[in-house]
């Protein structure tokens, strides 16, 4: 059966428990239990969970291209940010005349004395148009870039360096005010989605639940792909691409498909991230962010999907703690985590848990 192929009893049980926590426990203890109660879950924790789940979607997308296809990308932060900017344009239009300057244009455009929206903002007041851009913009960029890179047989460290250079170039471009995306400050001060106020606890909880649904859907889609014949070919490309080509398969199109799909998933995660965190700026495109995505996958367990999501949760949970308790030492902790995992846990945390389970 398809359900058995996707996950065993343990996997479906974990997904069921996760769903119960996000769709039942969090809404009940956030919306129905008063803030004076000791068991009340604050909006801060709802937003933090939503943000980490967005990162988990990116980690799963990264695992599809790196863990199962053997292509290390150091540019997935770009696709994440492009999805965020695509939906951020709609959120900025939803502010309307409630901005600081009381003008129908975003405040940064009024400040720069712009008289009309630039061409890339066309129809940006349409929810469905911007939702389409969330998929099309990162997907199209990934397809074009991947087509020329894979056709030229660029692979290994050379591919990783090129993706990092692409991300860095895009970051420098978005830092410019002339691009029409807010320059260094980016987009912020969001008020509404579909004319519904974002800041209410109900809206925050709804966004968190939607993100959880997308994360579960991403895990199921990824699992369906890697357990299919297509997924076995991807694994073969990872292990011995020359042999796969000798068997008559055109590996370029297999890599191009999973590369583009991975970029689209990152774009969707970025679009979910922006209304929950409340800001998107060029720093999300920094090469360091893309490297950190690879660390999430390595920590959780490369080539496991669920491990990638777990790694995103562990690293970002630790980041939330250490940036408050020891802000100046966070990057050292991150480097230490990566070194320890690389040396002592080559299969990640999930691999460690599996070994412990087998021994017991």
2 pLDDT higher than 70: no
135 and 267 Cβ atoms separated by less than 8 Å: yes
Q: What is the pLDDT of residue 355?
A: 79
Q: In which band, very low, low, confident or very high, does the pLDDT at 323 lie, cut at 50, 70 and 90?
A: confident
pLDDT digits (tens, 9 = 90+) for 16-70: 999 999 999 999 999 999 889 999 999 999 999 999 999 999 999 999 999 999 9
Element (H, E) at 231: helix 229-246
Q: What is the pLDDT of residue 346?
A: 77
Q: In which band, very low, low, confident or very high, does the pLDDT at 4 lie, cut at 50, 70 and 90?
A: low
- Sequence-separated (6 or more) residues with CB below 8 Å from residue 29: 39, 40, 41
253 pLDDT higher than 90: yes
Tokens representing 181?
A: 């995306």
**Phi/psi of residue 330, nearest 5 degrees:** -60, -45
Tokens representing 66?
A: 């790196």
Q: In which band, very low, low, confident or very high, does the pLDDT at 1 lie, cut at 50, 70 and 90?
A: low
163 and 75 Cβ atoms separated by less than 8 Å: yes
Query: Which residue do the tokens 């924790």 mark?
Result: 45
Neighbours of 24 (CB within 10 A): 10
- For the ranges 26-30, 98-102, 325-329, the one whose mean pLDDT is highest: 26-30
160 and 168 Cβ atoms separated by less than 8 Å: no
Q: 3-state DSSP call for residue 173?
A: helix
- Sequence-separated (6 or more) residues with CB below 8 Å from residue 288: none
pLDDT digits (tens, 9 = 90+) for 158-193: 999 999 999 999 999 999 998 999 999 999 999 999
Tokens representing 159?
A: 């591919």
Neighbours of 318 (CB within 10 A): 15
The chain-wide mean pLDDT, for the chain, equals 91
What is the rounded distance in angstroms from the CA atom of residue 314 to the CA atom of residue 16?
20
């Amino acid at each position: 059966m398809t359900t058995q192929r996707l996950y065993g009893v343990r996997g479906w049980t974990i997904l069921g428990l996760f769903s119960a926590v996000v769709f039942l426990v969090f809404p009940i203890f956030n919306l129905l239990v008063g803030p004076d109660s000791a068991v009340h879950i604050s909006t801060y924790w709802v937003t933090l969970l939503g943000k980490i789940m967005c990162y988990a979607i990116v980690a799963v997308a990264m695992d599809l291209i790196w863990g199962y296809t053997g292509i290390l990308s150091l540019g997935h932060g770009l696709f994440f940010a492009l999805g965020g900017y695509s939906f951020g344009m709609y959120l900025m239009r939803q502010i309307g005349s409630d901005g600081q300057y009381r003008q129908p244009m975003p405040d940064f455009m009024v400040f720069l004395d712009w008289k009309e929206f630039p061409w890339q903002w066309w129809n940006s007041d349409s929810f469905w148009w911007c939702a389409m851009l969330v998929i099309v913009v990162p997907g199209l960029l990934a397809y074009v870039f991947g087509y020329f890179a894979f056709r030229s047989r660029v692979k290994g460290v050379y591919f990783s360096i090129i993706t990092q250079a692409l991300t860095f170039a895009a970051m420098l471009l978005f830092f410019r005010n002339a691009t029409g995306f807010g320059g260094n400050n980016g987009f912020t001060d969001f008020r509404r989605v579909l004319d519904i106020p974002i800041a209410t606890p109900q809206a925050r909880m709804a966004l968190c639940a939607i993100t959880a649904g997308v994360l579960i859907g991403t895990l199921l889609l990824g699992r369906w792909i890697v357990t299919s014949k297509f997924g076995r070919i991807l694994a073969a490309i990872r292990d011995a691409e020359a042999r796969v080509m000798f068997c008559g398969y055109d590996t370029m199109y297999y890599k191009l498909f999973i590369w583009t799909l991975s970029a689209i998933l990152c774009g969707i995660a970025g679009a979910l991230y922006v209304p929950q965190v409340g800001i998107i700026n060029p720093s999300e495109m920094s090469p360091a962010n893309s490297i950190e995505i690879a660390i999430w996958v390595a920590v959780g367990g490369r080539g496991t999907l669920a491990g990638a999501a777990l790694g995103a949760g562990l690293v970002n949970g630790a980041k939330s703690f250490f940036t408050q308790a020891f802000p100046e030492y966070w990057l050292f902790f991150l480097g230490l985590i990566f070194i320890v995992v690389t040396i002592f846990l080559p299969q990640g945390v999930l691999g460690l848990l599996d070994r412990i389970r087998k021994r017991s």
